[in-house]
Amino acid sequence: MTIRGAGLRRAKGGMKGFWANLTAHYKKLGGVLLVGHRVEKLESMNNGYMVITRKGTFLARQVVSAIPAENTMTIAPPNIKQILNRYVTRDNDRYESAIVVFLGVPESEVSCQPITHHQLLYDYNLPLGNGNNMFISVSAQGDTDSAPKEYRAVMISTHCKLSEWRHLTEEAYQQKKEDMGKHLINLAKQVYPQLGTNAVLYEVGTPRTYQKYTGRINGTVGGIRQNLQNSNQKAMPHDIGIKNFRMVGDTTWPGLGTVACIVGSKIVADQLLNN
């Protein structure tokens, strides 16, 4: 499975459109989707698990935790917590996050470019992240699920160190957020010189945003920064040695990113179906 050579595109309606299509297909295949059921506790039972959620309790023969390892630790029974703790402690300083600028702009601000996706590197000699490398994604012309007629949705994203956003005072956080938003828009002006001049929507997402909306502890994005000590055979496996329990997602092998997560989930799904 690879995305190499597949090209870059944006689903109609962005991630919301993608999600609507994906869940519709999943349900058509017979899948059951329960949203808003935040798992608060997982308890071991004789033949499986009790999954206690905000909206009810479920009995499960098998559990696959698709939330990050550090999140799983907050809900799991002690035997699972103990195993996960080894990896989480080892990788504690290797988490990163992202900053994203979301814009709604008049079409004229982006019509100078026929291409809707751009990957920019500002300076080879500067560290990556914080805008030095960044990604710009613009909704397609006519995608009125993403933006009204004659307007376009623009997303600028870059990676950042989690540590730089932690332990800030409220004032320092707000200032950093404002500065970073302006910085990213200025860099994007290399491609779209008028970008943001008359924006009707302007939002900046930071690690705090990801923490709030996804529940990822400290707002981590994209899993663990890999090195020889924590990847491949040394990465967190899907099977951590606990009966009827598996881990998937970007804190497990093969690691960060949507493709890697899909590969991991497919391996686990195949294993469970063949059991």
Ligand X SMILES: Cc1cc2nc3c(=O)[nH]c(=O)nc-3n(C[C@H](O)[C@H](O)[C@H](O)COP(=O)(O)OP(=O)(O)OC[C@H]3O[C@@H](n4cnc5c(N)ncnc54)[C@H](O)[C@@H]3O)c2cc1C
Token pair, residue 117, equals 């996706």
Indicate the residue among 79 and 258 with the shorter CB distance to ligand X.
Answer: 258
Residue 250 CB, nearest distance to ligand X (Å)? Answer: 4
Residue 22 CB, nearest distance to ligand X (Å)? Answer: 13
SS3 category, 156: strand
Applying CB under 6 A, the span of 15-23, 78-86, 182-190, 258-266 interacting with ligand X comes to 258-266
Q: In the set 71, 130, 139, 146, which binds ligand X (CB under 6 A)?
A: 71
C-alpha triplet 222, 226, 231: angle, nearest 5°: 115
Indicate the residue among 193 and 215 with the shorter CB distance to ligand X.
Answer: 215
Determine, following the binding rule CB under 6 A, whether residue 249 of this chain makes contact with ligand X. yes
Closest CA to 135 of 150, 151, 122, 147: 122
Token pair, residue 253, equals 């092998």
* Cis peptide, bond prior to residue 254, ω within 30 of zero: yes
Indicate the residue among 40 and 150 with the shorter CB distance to ligand X.
Answer: 40
Q: In the set 223, 224, 235, 245, which binds ligand X (CB under 6 A)?
A: 223
C-alpha triplet 26, 31, 213: angle, nearest 5°: 70
Applying CB under 6 A, the span of 21-29, 121-129, 178-186, 215-223 interacting with ligand X comes to 215-223
* CA torsion angle 65 71 77 83 (round to 10): 80
Q: Which residues bind ligand X (CB under 6 A)?
A: 38-39, 66-67, 71, 75, 98, 100, 157, 214-216, 221-223, 249-250, 256-259, 261
